[in-house]
Amino acid sequence: MKKIIFPKPLKKGAKIAVISPAGAVDASQLEKGIKLIKSKGFEPVLGEHLYTKFANGYNYAGTEKERIKDINWALNDKEIGAIWASRGGYGCQHLIQHLKLKNFTENPKWYIGYSDNTVIQSYLLKKGFASIHGQTIKTSSFGVTEESYDLIFDILKGKTPDYSLKSHQLNTKGIIEGELVGGNLALVYALLGTKYSFDFKDKILFIEDIGENFYALDRMIMSLELAGVFKKIKGLIIGGMTNMGDEKENKSYEESFDEFAYKLISERISKYKFPVVLAFPNGHIKDNRPLIIGGKVKMKVHTKVKIEF
């Protein structure tokens, strides 16, 4: 089994690249996050096309060439200590065939993001590097807790997270250890069958999602089933399922843990015997606590849940 490389802890004053690999952002949306990086003793370095906008059926943060240029700069510039995505959205799939890691392999650095950034994190893990599935620089309309950011800075400084949670009624009990893979379900699903897909064998899979109709959620779970993913994994962690179901229901972003979504997934995987954790606080939710993709996890599911890296 390939040993996964964790980047070195950042020292005070280290430079953190802020880039937009997918959707477009305005400067006002990143103001708080950039100030936070400075307040924690690090230096934000803004990508050339951080605020670029390119409309092509979707508002991208620049053309594909512009976004590829920014991410390869951030990955390979020797002065950059970590990379923090401004937001997700859509567009990271455009980049992965063009990523270069020549200098990155000599000086690995943390890549931080979630949502569409799952694509980049899957790519990095294929190459043997861990990343942080956590809050982007942009704070969404549902906000983000201070702890969600503080825990990311803890990881950047070399401290791995441990979580203790209440147990959900649909959890499946058990104790298991394994490498954590996954992220946003729509992107895990989109990469199935490609050379960029996660390797699921003997792994613990994490999934979260936002704004999917229940039939679309079921379709993605069925695709994982048909691809044999649930036969391969050792455990499953399900995070936020936000604003799910029929759009007419007008669900609030505050309804982070959609009980029907959990019921649907639980029914689909009921024949499997691995431990399952539902309602883990990570995803398109206010309480978005970071997970380390590629990290070795000990997962204890009983009357309480413990997730230890």
CATH number of the domain where residue 205 is located:
3.50.30.60
Based on the fold, state whether residues 20 and 67 are members of the same structural domain: yes
- Residue 2, in any domain of the structure: no
Backbone angles phi, psi at 104, to 5 degrees: -60, -40
Boundary of a domain, candidates 133, 156, 179: 156
Domain count, the chain: 2
Q: 144 is written with which tokens? A: 């983000």
Q: Which domain does 302 fall in, by range? A: 162-308
Whole-angstrom distance, CA of residue 31 vs CA of residue 168: 36
Could you say which residues of the chain have pLDDT below 50? 250, 252-254
Q: Which of 49, 133, 168, 284 is catalytic?
A: 284
49 is catalytic: no
Question: What confidence score (pLDDT) does residue 79 get?
Answer: 97
User: Which H/E stretch holds residue 208?
Assistant: strand 203-210
Residue of 208, 212, 256, 266 marked catalytic = 208
Q: Please say which residue of 136, 156, 176 terminates a domain.
A: 156
* Whether residue 237 is found in the same domain as residue 136: no
Residue 3 belongs to some domain of the structure: no
Quick one: 151 and 22 in the same domain? yes
What pLDDT shows up at residue 243? 87
Q: Determine, yes or no, domain membership for 169.
A: yes
Instruction: Write down the pLDDT at residue 62.
Output: 98
Q: Is 256 marked active-site?
A: no
Q: With respect to residue 218, please indicate whether it lies within any of the assigned structural domains.
A: yes
Q: Are residues 55 and 186 in the same domain?
A: no
Residues 118 and 144 in one domain: yes
Burial of 93 (0-12, 13-18, 19+ CB in 10 A): middle
Whether 5 is in a domain gets the answer no
- In a domain, residue 10? The reply is no
User: What's 54's domain CATH number?
Assistant: 3.40.50.10740
How many angstroms separate the CA atoms of 211 and 218, rounded? Answer: 13
Residue 2: per-residue pLDDT: 78
Whether 172 and 290 map to the same domain: the answer is: yes
Note whether 37 and 44 are within 8 A (CB): yes
pLDDT of residue 87: 98
208 carries an active-site annotation: yes
Cα separation, 59 vs 167, in Å, equals 40
26 and 111 in a single domain? The answer is yes
Which of 91, 123, 156 terminates a domain? The answer is 156
What is the pTM for the complete model shown?
Answer: 0.96
68 and 173 both lie in a single domain = no
